[in-house]
Chain A
């Protein structure tokens, strides 16, 4: 059953990031860091993996002379999350 779960999403921090982004239009790097309690380094690595998979888009910009990283979920990421949740439901139902 674990094989069926999307390996990109079946990671605690990456799943946390996607679960946060599914509920908001877009979020800053610091917002994700604050909500997931992850370190900046680890968060950065996981965001890059999600970006490489095409699940999120990352915009780097400057705001009031400070660098700002904005993340938002893509349609592909949204679909992957929905499929992941369906797979989880199938797994949990099969255990009943």
Chain B
């Protein structure tokens, strides 16, 4: 670290390199996308099979799998808190966004219990799109943005299709907005992390 050989051009290079490195600190959000993406996808396909094909009256019990998601999310959150070496403003903003979305999911469920579950998949798809769109824009990660736009389109389509088939539309929405972008995000993070 000899200052006499440290030119202003070197300063610019150091600043650029370090700012580039902090960018990757926020990128690994793929765990929750993949966990919840696959759980909801399995739930949608499972409920469609039980309700439409098997005509099982307690088809909604499939959604007990969300408890697996809650347990793993809490475990990962608590474990990750100790491992986080830096807090970024972007990560903190995204954390707050997803907390707001989870609260909205819960309140929607209370509303659906009271007013009926007919339109629930349309609202769920809109919430998937909301979270993915903002996250995609903040991270400048286009698969999330396209997934969100796709989910909004499917939410619109679901207002015209039979309710039972909206379960499948919801499964498709989670596939394009959580699962596929989640895998791509994980791959990108691993690729970038090797160069950091």
Q: Is A24 an interface residue (CB 8 A)?
A: yes
Contact A5 B8 (CB under 8 A): yes
Given the known A-B contacts A13-B1, A88-B12, are A24 and B86 also in contact in the complex, defined by CB atoms under 8 Å?
Answer: yes
CB proximity of A46 to chain B, nearest CB, Å: 8
A31 CB contacts on chain B under 8 angstroms: 85-86
Highest count of chain A CB atoms <10 Å: which of B9, B22, B85: B85
Instruction: State the interface size on chain B (CB cutoff 8 A).
Output: 25
Check A26 for interface membership: any CB of B closer than 8 A: yes
- Known contacts A5-B8, A42-B1; A24/B14 CB under 8 A: no
Cross-interface CB contact of B19 among A23, A26, A36, A88, cutoff 8 Å? A23
Q: Please pick, from A12, A23, A28, A36, the residue contacting B6 in the complex, using a CB distance under 8 A.
A: A12
Kindly name the residue among A13, A24, A91 whose own CB sees the greatest number of chain B CB atoms within 10 A: A24
Q: Is the CB of A26 within 8 A of B14?
A: no
Residues in A with CB closer than 8 Å to B8 are: 1-2, 5, 88, 91-92
Is A64 engaged at the interface, CB distance under 8 Å to the other chain? Answer: yes
Known A13-B1, A31-B86, A42-B1; contact A24-B11, beta-carbon cutoff 8 A: no
Residues of A with C-beta under 8 A to B74: none
Closest residue to A81 on the B side, CB-wise?
B15
Residues 1-43 (chain B) with a chain A CB within 8 angstroms: 1, 3, 6, 8-12, 14-15, 17-19, 21-23, 25
Are A15 and B196 in contact, CB atoms less than 8 angstroms apart?
no
B123 to chain A, nearest CB (A): 33
Task: Report whether A64 and B86 are in contact in the complex, using a CB–CB cutoff of 8 Å.
Answer: no
Indicate which residue in B10, B12, B18 contacts A35 across the interface (CB closer than 8 Å): B18
**Interface residues as binary, B101-125 with A (CB distance below 8 Å gives 1, 0 otherwise):** 0000000000000000000000000
Q: What are 22 A-B contacts with C-beta separation under 8 Å?
A: A7-B3, A12-B6, A12-B10, A13-B1, A15-B11, A15-B15, A19-B18, A22-B19, A23-B88, A24-B25, A24-B88, A24-B89, A25-B87, A27-B87, A30-B85, A34-B85, A35-B18, A35-B22, A36-B18, A46-B1, A88-B12, A91-B8
Given contacts A1-B8, A13-B1, A30-B85, 12 further A-B contacts (CB under 8 A): A2-B8, A10-B11, A16-B14, A23-B18, A23-B19, A24-B87, A25-B88, A26-B87, A31-B85, A31-B86, A42-B1, A92-B9
Measured CB to CB, the residues of A under 8 A from B are 1-2, 5, 7, 10-13, 15-16, 19-20, 22-28, 30-31, 34-36, 42, 46, 63-64, 84-85, 88, 91-92
Chain B residues at the A interface, C-beta cutoff of 8 Å: 1, 3, 6, 8-12, 14-15, 17-19, 21-23, 25, 82, 85-89, 92, 196
